[in-house]
Structure 1
Amino acid sequence: MKKILLLAFLFCSANLFAQKYSGQWSGSFDAKGEPGGSRTEYFLELEVNGTKVEGTSTTYFIIEGKRFYTICAIEGNLDPRSKTITAKEVKRVKANTPQWFKDCFQVHTLTYFKKGDTEELEGNWKGARDEDKCGMGTTVLSRKQLVKNIITTPPAQNNNTVRTNPKPAPAQQKPTTKPTTPPKEKPEVVKTQPKKETPVTTGPAITKVDNQTETKTNAEVKANIPAPKLPNGLEKRESKVFETIPIEEEEITVNLYDNAEIDGDIITVLFNGEVVVSQKTLSDKPIVVKLKAIRGRDNTLTMYAENQGRIPPNTAIMRVQNGEQYHKVFLSADDKKNGSVVFRFKS
């Protein structure tokens, strides 16, 4: 009995310890040797389970006076003894960058510190792939108390460089404002900039993205996707399974919300082929779905894109609760493919 209690205590302690790092961290990184010492806005949303780290990074930056962002999925690990997190960007989830823009993935190695009432992650970054030649620098993030299912965007900055190692842009798109670059070649730009178009007047505070409506009210949302062809009123499309989630309980609670700029994404959700959500707009407020899984079979949830908003494709963060287990999945859908998740009972 004592051994069982000890194991239960250690398990709970490990979960609580991991939760200390979970949530949203905001701050910036710089690039070693970059003139002027400018920093790039950078955000991490972490979910730490044991020593496994996953989540997203968001970087905001400016190209030729226009504000852009990219969101990347991250994977990594936690060393509990040194309180150090390694967060590696592994793929792009969503962005509004020009076609010629080339991503420059990073690896951030960050150590946890507590200074008074402030929690910080501090450390260094370098390129995640040798071929990108992204450079290196330092990263400083502070703890942001994450309100459940709220999407945020940082304040605007005036002096940021682009977080990328870009491919040469077409002649008509080449920047002409770089003061020290010879005209015969495009300047190499270091991966160091923020990603979202929501200027605000506060300092380091984060502001909800729907404060950007003054710049988006006249933006054209992409036309609704073609006419229905199936009995349930939806066009037939292929489905991509983004994750298979093991479950133990029949009851599943799903929260879906936009994971970046609120750009008018409209979705329909199916569970085992039946429509459970019809033509709802993704936003910073979750679409909540209560489901009951059927034992003895795979249960499939599918996100169908009714449109693609202002910034294709249609993307969402899905948070899943099943008993005491929590999962987070990034879904993407467009006019050709649905995004799906399979729920499978543990054997």
Structure 2
Amino acid sequence: MKLPLSKLLLFLLPAVFPLIGMGQNLTGIWRGYFITESGENYRLEFQVQQAKSKTVTGVSYSYLDTRFYGKATMTGNFAIKNNSFTIQELRTVEVKNMGGGATCLMNYKFAYARSGREEFLEGSYVGKTEDRANPKNNGKWGDCGGGTVYLRKVTTSDFYVEPFLRNNKNITSTDTPVTKTTVKPASKTPLATKKKTTTKPVAKAPVKKTTTPPVISKRSTIDSPVPKTITPVIVEKKADLPPYQAPQVTRSRKNELTTALTVTNEVITIRLYDNGEIDDDTISVYLDGRLIIASKRLSASPITYTLKMDENNPEHTLVMVAENLGRIPPNTSLMIVQDGDKRYQVSITSTEQKNAMVRFRYQKAGN
């Protein structure tokens, strides 16, 4: 029997759309990051399994480094009609928070998207305080802040791969955390302090203050003139301070100001991590135009630099230059600045067209 084209299309469409829906399966590993309302940036990983009913269960890991991580069980639902995915954490099963503070559970709302072979989840979350000893006393959604979330489907995990994913041929099973990070690498941080209303990971770890002996500048001494002899004083240019020209890579690309920080300690510590998935991003860093870090690969272990400040030289500029774009452009990093008891987090993005610039200004405490 020959059908008119219009009727043939009507006949085929119901058969095609279920096939499209069937291709959207969330089962697997999703990795990325979330940004709190206060601008702090934390890594996030989901390991989930989707049932035929579109119910989704699994675990989440949120983390900053080995001092801050947490693992929670989750349950949710995937609505294929509008590609929306909601999932919430039920309880934390493992927490490492050296800074103390409350833990927070998170409720996520995502939009699912596919681009070629890549799959993404993008959305938002709200948090609530958790009473691990008595869950009946948990807070309400929103009392632990909120923010935005970005995840990408990947085939490897920084953590122990859950049993329900072990038989998935597309997933690399690692019984132990990635070697770049210590056991259970910088993982989950449901550590959110209520003070900052940042979700799980917002907890401050005690910071070791490193005291650096003051730098005593060497001054040339002038001997008393020999009697009856006038000796002219010759001022020599210091060899270590020649005039210099900014490197080509910082002149040929646009230097875009990411943020300006005012610090109150004479010694601050700067740590640089890969932001999101570790994808071989490599950077060089210039301090006031001079190279201080050359072609270093970003990872879950920080690249650390100590910056000394003083009232005579209160302003410094760091420029982060992308030496490559990694496997997933652009080149992104997370900068953690420790200023005594204060801690700042800065998300850095650099490309082949622009460098990321961060300015530091020293202001003595109490001034």
Larger radius of gyration: 2
